[in-house]
Chains A and B, each alone.
Chain A
Amino acid sequence: MQKSRRFFSAPNKRELLLPALFLAPALAVLLALSIYPLIYSITISLQQETAAGVTWGLGNFARLFSDNFFLTALGHTFIYAVAALVCEFLLGLGLALLLNNQIRGRGIFRASLLIPMMLPAVVVGVVWRLMLNPNFGAINGTLKQFGINTESLTWTASPKLAMLSVIAVDVWQWTPFVFLVLLAGLQAIPQEPYEAALIDGSSRWQTFWHVTLPLLKPSILIVLLLRTMDLLRVFDQIFILTEGGPGFATETISLYIYRTAFRFFDFGYAAAMSFVLLALTNVISAVYIKFLQAKETI
């Protein structure tokens, strides 16, 4: 306390120099790699390039509302995020509850469950693309062994099944993460509340609903928050699996932003879309965080 008071009341140049020197590289990196690009992208999102030259204004943002591709991609992003989040959460919670018990081979189960999460998304994409190939893939190959007609099961090639396929891959890869966080949360819950519940004669369901779930809430909200942010900006697996196809069926906002920027070279419009995605992510995160804080004060 005394030290910090001295720091503020009598700024000694010599003493300031050293911390400033230590901070300088980090600040320089932050300035160069985060703050400058952010400001730059705000300025280009307000610029539209036309044959007559550059015009300033909100044209890029206005264009969003009449852009069918953008609106469809936005819809896809939400379908993808909600479906994957629900599946990952329910499966992850189930697995965490199961493996929190003393069952035989628990260590092996836990370790093997974490493998998908450790693979790079690109590797996951390539492996699943091969497995989902309708003609040579392992999945249809296996189904054929059981005598199932796979003629119409073209997975990533079918407009009806493509979204399901990419969601399934995300669930496969990221359920372990949900499981891991929730398991850690479960193990941090002390035994006393359970003993109290047992003495009060509550059923297993009541114990789960009134003891486990409320105490697990902080972990649940953290994992939902992290997964939601990740899902809204999903890019790599989908890019590898379907490249947004067939016929736009799995195009998400991130893919469309990438295409607009690096294929069509319309950086202003791509920046405008990025800000919309950022705003949406922020709003959703704020709702989660508010929920988390409200529950904690009770």
Chain B
Amino acid sequence: MKLTLSLALLVIFTSCTGNTQRKQLTLAVVSGVEGEALKQAAADYEKQTGVHVSVAEFPYTNLFEKELIDLKARTAAYDLIMLDDPWFPRFAHEQVLTDLTPLLQKRGKSGPDSDFVETSLALCRHPYKSGSLYALPYVGNSQLFFYRKDLFEKYLMKPPATWDDVLEAAKTIQEKETTGANGGQVYGYVERAAQGNAAVADFMPIFWAFGGEMFDASGKPAVNSPQGIAALQFMIDLGKYSPPGYASFNADDVGAHLLQGTAAMSINWPAWISSFSDQTKSKVIGKMEFTTLPGAEKPGQAEIGNWLIAIPRDSHNADAAVDFLLWATSAEQMKRSAQRGNPPTRKSLFQDPELVAKYPAYPAQLRSLESSRPRPRTPYWNEIENAFGIFLSKANSGDLTPAEAMNQANAEIEKILQRAQ
């Protein structure tokens, strides 16, 4: 009994000390293409430097809670974490991340190099754009406007520059294109308005283009402004050319309609681009075109959606972690990540001839990224997005009028902010 106990203690003890003796890093990544690239980079790093990098992989829906619970409990379980950019203000607000500037200065750098796209780097600072640096951008997604080039040419239409063009084109295509790829009708557009992230992500570019702002100059919610209500009315008007049931669509429903050739336009993320040339999935090979978002009162702006990498404040290996972070986000390594399917966050790579040959949409992606906007930077974004998404979804399913939806959303957002005071 005593023997086994002491043996067990010995094992625990040695395994603990082993961590500090051998260099080891633990990485929390999202499962899917973004995390996969970082996982492979970790394996390369281990081969090059001998630093063992173990990877903990979580599905997107669980990653946020796993990381925040762990960081708040100060377990120091992770040395590096991947963050979706809307989560960043919450983590920074909770003060659980390492300020990177002193670590960069130790290595003779005054800050991150100027090759990073400004809009991506701005996300890594708290407060936004001007504050301290707590992360580096790894995957540079921003929304793009997807449309069927062949149908636009067939009906002699120019690529849509404004949302009015989009509505007009959706109408034309839906009325004239009565025999689609699988014999059925082609919907002019496909929106997604499932409550939560989906509805909000699809709405924000329209909202911004119509001149809407979620918060006014004094920080009070203002989604029920005339511009906001007009934008929601437009989303519903465009919904008439969307497949029925879009009020519960998520990204995969939008992707499925585009791949099947049953819808002609949508807002979507660059991760879908490669699937359009996949013969096993796509009925629209060579027919899709990708461009920046249409405008209205204001020029079109995409929503940015970057993956960032940060170092938890309680990591015992911050120095080793920052070495890995700088290595993984270097131009050379990020190119490999790009080759594995992730849009980079470096200007030089968006212009890299080899990459542009492989990903012809890169110039459009860079334009979209450089002119993109982040979701409002607030630690309470998850809660606000949830409430806002519910009312957007309700308006799109016909439960509420646009004005009712926006007034109620505004009241709920105000409540959330008041509670946080």
The answer to the question of A51 belonging to the interface, with a C-beta cut-off of 8 Å to chain B, is: yes
The answer to the question of B65 belonging to the interface, with a C-beta cut-off of 8 Å to chain A, is: yes
With A154-B244, A246-B393, A247-B391 in contact, is A265–B90 under 8 Å at CB? yes
- How many chain B residues touch A (CB < 8 A): the figure is 38
A136 partner residues in chain B, CB cutoff 8 A: 256
Does B421 contact A264, Cβ atoms closer than 8 Å?
no
With A265-B68, A265-B90 in contact, is A247–B393 under 8 Å at CB? yes
Does B195 contact A248, Cβ atoms closer than 8 Å?
yes
The answer to the question of B243 belonging to the interface, with a C-beta cut-off of 8 Å to chain A, is: yes
Q: Which residue of B lies closest to A155 (CB)?
A: B245
Does A247 contact B243, Cβ atoms closer than 8 Å?
no
Does A263 contact B390, Cβ atoms closer than 8 Å?
no
Q: Which residue of B lies closest to A244 (CB)?
A: B195
A248-B409 Cα distance, complex, nearest whole Å: 13
- Best-surrounded residue of A134, A154, A157 (most CB of chain B within 10 A): A157
A162 to chain B, nearest CB (A): 8
Does A263 contact B194, Cβ atoms closer than 8 Å?
no
The answer to the question of B162 belonging to the interface, with a C-beta cut-off of 8 Å to chain A, is: no
- Best-surrounded residue of B248, B257, B386, B421 (most CB of chain A within 10 A): B248
Does B383 contact A247, Cβ atoms closer than 8 Å?
no
B383 partner residues in chain A, CB cutoff 8 A: 263-264, 266
Could you tell me the dominant secondary structure of chain B's interface residues?
helix
B387 to chain A, nearest CB (A): 8
Q: Which residue of A lies closest to B90 (CB)?
A: A265
The answer to the question of A40 belonging to the interface, with a C-beta cut-off of 8 Å to chain B, is: no
B65 partner residues in chain A, CB cutoff 8 A: 262-263, 265
The answer to the question of A158 belonging to the interface, with a C-beta cut-off of 8 Å to chain B, is: yes
Query: Could you give, for residues 258-293 of chain B, a 1 whenever the CB lies within 8 Å of some chain A CB and a 0 otherwise?
Result: 000010000000000000000000000000000000
From B262, B386, B397, B420, contact of A157 by CB (8 A) = B397
The answer to the question of B399 belonging to the interface, with a C-beta cut-off of 8 Å to chain A, is: yes
The answer to the question of A274 belonging to the interface, with a C-beta cut-off of 8 Å to chain B, is: no
Does A50 contact B382, Cβ atoms closer than 8 Å?
no
Does A245 contact B393, Cβ atoms closer than 8 Å?
yes
A162 partner residues in chain B, CB cutoff 8 A: 248
Does A246 contact B196, Cβ atoms closer than 8 Å?
no
The answer to the question of B126 belonging to the interface, with a C-beta cut-off of 8 Å to chain A, is: no
The answer to the question of B32 belonging to the interface, with a C-beta cut-off of 8 Å to chain A, is: no
- Best-surrounded residue of A152, A156, A249 (most CB of chain B within 10 A): A249
Does A245 contact B399, Cβ atoms closer than 8 Å?
no
CB-contacts of B150-197 with A (<8 A): 193-196
A134-B253 Cα distance, complex, nearest whole Å: 11
A263-B400 Cα distance, complex, nearest whole Å: 25
Instruction: Show 5 A/B contacts (Cβ-Cβ < 8 Å), sorted by A.
Output: A157-B248, A245-B390, A246-B194, A247-B390, A247-B393
Chain B residues with a Cβ under 8 A of chain A: 64-65, 68, 90, 193-196, 243-249, 256-257, 262, 380, 382-383, 386-387, 390-400, 412, 419-421
Additional A-B contacts beyond A152-B244, A154-B245, A246-B397 (17; CB < 8 A): A154-B248, A159-B247, A162-B248, A243-B194, A245-B195, A245-B196, A245-B248, A245-B393, A246-B195, A247-B195, A247-B396, A248-B390, A248-B394, A263-B65, A263-B382, A265-B68, A265-B382
